[in-house]
Amino acid sequence: MEKIQVLSQQNQNMEYKISVIVPVYNVEHYIERCVRSLFEQTMTEGVEYIFVNDCTPDRSMQVLEEVASEYPDRLEHIRYIHHSLNSGASAARNSGLALAQGEYIYYADSDDWVEKDMLADMYKAAKETDADIVRSDFFCTYSTHEVYVKQGDETDPMACVKLLLSEKLHGAFWTKLVRRTLYTDHKIIIISGYWEDLRASVQLFYYAKKITCIPKAYYHYVQHSSVISLQNYKKRLKEIIRNTDGIIEFLKDKNVELDKQIHYLKLAAKKTLLFTCYKSFFRQWLRIYPESNKYIWSYPSLPLHLRIVGGCTALRLWPLIDLWIQAKKWYRGKTETPVERSINNAMPNISVIVTVYKAEKYIERCAKSLFEQTFDSVEYIFVNDCTPDRSMQVLKEVASNYPDRLEHIRYVDHSLNSGVSAARNTGLAMAKGEYIFYADADDWMEREMLADMFKAARENDADIVRCDYIYAYAAFEKRVKQSNTVDPMECIKLLLSEKEHGALWTKLVRRTLYTDNTIVFYDGNRGDLRASVQLFYYAKKITYIPKAYYHYVQYNPHALSVKNLEKRLNEMIRQAEGIIAFLNEKDVQLDRHIHYLKLATKQNLLFTCDKSSFRKWLTIYPESNNYIWIYPSLPFHLRIVGGCTAMRLWPLIWLWIQIKKCFRRVTRTHNK
């Protein structure tokens, strides 16, 4: 648990007019100018300063304290808060707010700076108009110049909310002086993540009774790459979407009808994807908040040329997007910027993830079939699940024969055998590809599989591409044709009915389908079926290739799917319960197919020659037993056996067991 230490020389009985709160993290080179501009304010009385050290690893706090010592009149009004863990700007602001005593709150970032008359002018305007919020213009400060950004003179709270949603009013705190009770009375806290200030600002303006504006710029918003608010791009996009959803939920809860502005907010959340020269980002733009895409033409805060680019993306006019990307690259004077090069290197088209465990005799063929794929943009992640044999040595020997693939191969070693689900989760966490493909180390695939599946994915903008597969026995092979349906809910029905294989090796899946929906693999048999149900539920577009690429080997005694029957049954029940709970949570009504799932979960008990297994079949999911007669994926003779079990016709079951035992003896004798 994080510990917060508060150090203060402050008089606790003093009444402050303004509390200035400043998070401090990695700003050693900027903080001196920031704090001097704060300590040199013309408002000499009634200001408290709260600096929150968010576990900064540099000398920021030492610099701050050295500068503060030069302003003895300010010292008794300064408080320092020390976080024991780096918790982010939002947590730092919340810590400062919890301790603040001022009538008004002002947040500043520690790498920016302010004009000397800012606090005096804003507080004077607040008192003269009895305002809850005072807002002002600001400067964008670049290394060579500054840009004055005017914020307008709108003072109606709901009109200001509209401007925030449309990006005509900056959501940052540092343009606003806010009455502290507006935070405390309405329990407004700052939620972690990018756009957290916009989310809080919408709430503040909603609750504000009186707003006033000062048509003057005081705050210098420094534009450089090391400010607190700039994060890893993918992480930042997720945070923006999370806070966007929070804003929408808040407005919906308050019955605020601002449909057009909500669409503008959604477009703002994803607009930076249109600034790139990487086509996959445009495709990602298309999938995020697709209901808002048609509003791109009227979105007021986006330049006309980017509205046209967004419109072409919404219409899927990919040749025009390709032309735009090439024109933009040409304009930049080179085919690829360093950032784009790093993105291309970091984002292969496909990540292939393979769990390695006791596959020494089979992994050579598997690895060769992967490395000889006709598709180039592939990364390979092999997860060694603490295999006790020579599987990894064989794998690395094979890999050495494919020098063009070596830089795209990653090996991950588990210190303990954790099972295929944990290995897949490990691989997924490391994957960078746009799409994910899972293979088992004892199987193999046709050379054109990845190329064909990725081509289908791109041509159809599909989240999931499905294909047929081949059962590979020791003496022969058998092709298994999958359904050609592309409707997500129909695919779920097929999965539950065992008319669609739940394995992941028949599917190429967009990585964001896993990451955006927090889909992970749960330990145990049928973990892939459980994940597949969730993937199909969240998929917007599915496509199908009527061709078999994957050879599913049926003669490896150590294969990942072969387990002790009792243990496997318990695992399957646990996975079935997880699937049912997920569908119930999503209000998906598939009663008949749920019964099929339950029957599939226990059907192996009907394959035995042990009467106790039949009695056990009777007691597991007994509410589904009557559906055995219409269960489509069980052979007719086993439906009869299951029906007789459901009716407790034990003499017939005993007769069936004897016939089966006799047949097995004859078969064994014949084979000898």
Among 508, 525, 553, the domain boundary falls at: 553
The tokens describing 319, both together, are: 């040749």
Tens of pLDDT, residue by residue over 10-46, are: 555 678 999 999 999 988 888 999 999 999 999 999 9
pLDDT band at 85 (very low <50, low <70, confident <90, very high): confident
What's the confidence (pLDDT) of residue 518? 86
| Residue entry with tokens 């330990």 | 523
Contact between 170 and 268 under an 8 Å Cβ cutoff? The reply is no
Q: Pick from 574, 585, 570, 651: which is nearest to 616 by CA? A: 570
- Give yes or no: residues 209 and 168 share one domain: yes
- Give yes or no: residues 33 and 124 share one domain: yes
The radius of gyration of the chain's CA atoms, rounded to the nearest angstrom, is 31
- Give yes or no: residues 195 and 266 share one domain: no
- How many of the other CB atoms lie within 10 Å of CB of 620? 17
- Give percent of the chain above pLDDT 90: 59
pLDDT at 229 over 60: no
**Exposed e or buried b per residue across 361-398, where buried means at least 16 C-beta atoms within 10 angstroms of its C-beta:** ebbbbbbebbbebebeebbbbbbbbebeeebbebbeeb
- Give yes or no: residues 530 and 610 share one domain: no
Does 565 reside within a domain? no
Q: State mean pLDDT over 631-653.
A: 88
- Give yes or no: residues 274 and 386 share one domain: no
What's the confidence (pLDDT) of residue 64? 94
Taking the C-alpha atoms of residue 599 and residue 622, their distance in angstroms, rounded to an integer, is 9
pLDDT at 232 over 60: no
Tens of pLDDT, residue by residue over 171-191, are: 999 999 999 999 999 999 998
- Give yes or no: residues 468 and 362 share one domain: yes
pLDDT band at 74 (very low <50, low <70, confident <90, very high): very high
Give Cα 147 distance to the centre of its chain.
Answer: 35
Provide the mean pLDDT of the chain: 88
- Give yes or no: residues 496 and 596 share one domain: no
Tens of pLDDT, residue by residue over 197-214, are: 999 999 999 999 999 999
Does 491 reside within a domain? yes
Tens of pLDDT, residue by residue over 239-256, are: 899 999 999 999 999 999
Tens of pLDDT, residue by residue over 403-448, are: 889 889 999 998 888 889 889 999 998 898 999 999 999 999 999 9
What's the confidence (pLDDT) of residue 381? 95
- Give percent of the chain above pLDDT 70: 91
Does 572 reside within a domain? no
Does 583 reside within a domain? no
What's the confidence (pLDDT) of residue 336? 47
pLDDT at 228 over 50: no
Length of the chain (residues):
672
- Give yes or no: residues 371 and 498 share one domain: yes
pLDDT band at 342 (very low <50, low <70, confident <90, very high): very low
**Exposed e or buried b per residue across 439-461, where buried means at least 16 C-beta atoms within 10 angstroms of its C-beta:** bbbbbbbbeebbbbbbebbbeee
- How many of the other CB atoms lie within 10 Å of CB of 492? 23
CATH number at residue 161: 3.90.550.10
pLDDT at 193 over 50: yes
What's the confidence (pLDDT) of residue 672? 53
Q: Distance of CA 96 to CAs 92, 190, 332, 480, Å?
A: 6, 11, 44, 63
- Give yes or no: residues 77 and 91 share one domain: yes
What's the confidence (pLDDT) of residue 284? 87
Most confident segment among 32-46, 221-235, 592-606: 32-46
- Domain of residue 452: give its range: 348-553
- Give yes or no: residues 361 and 415 share one domain: yes
The structural domain count of the chain equals: 4
- Which alpha helices (DSSP H) does 224-275 contain, by range? 233-253, 259-270
Q: Pick from 235, 242, 223, 233: which is nearest to 275 by CA? A: 233
pLDDT band at 5 (very low <50, low <70, confident <90, very high): low
Q: Global pTM?
A: 0.53
- Give yes or no: residues 196 and 287 share one domain: no
- Give yes or no: residues 314 and 360 share one domain: no
Judged by average pLDDT, the poorest of 394-398, 505-509, 584-588 is 584-588
What's the confidence (pLDDT) of residue 346? 52
Instruction: Indicate the angle between helix axes 363-371 and 391-399, nearest 10 degrees.
Output: 30
What's the confidence (pLDDT) of residue 337? 46
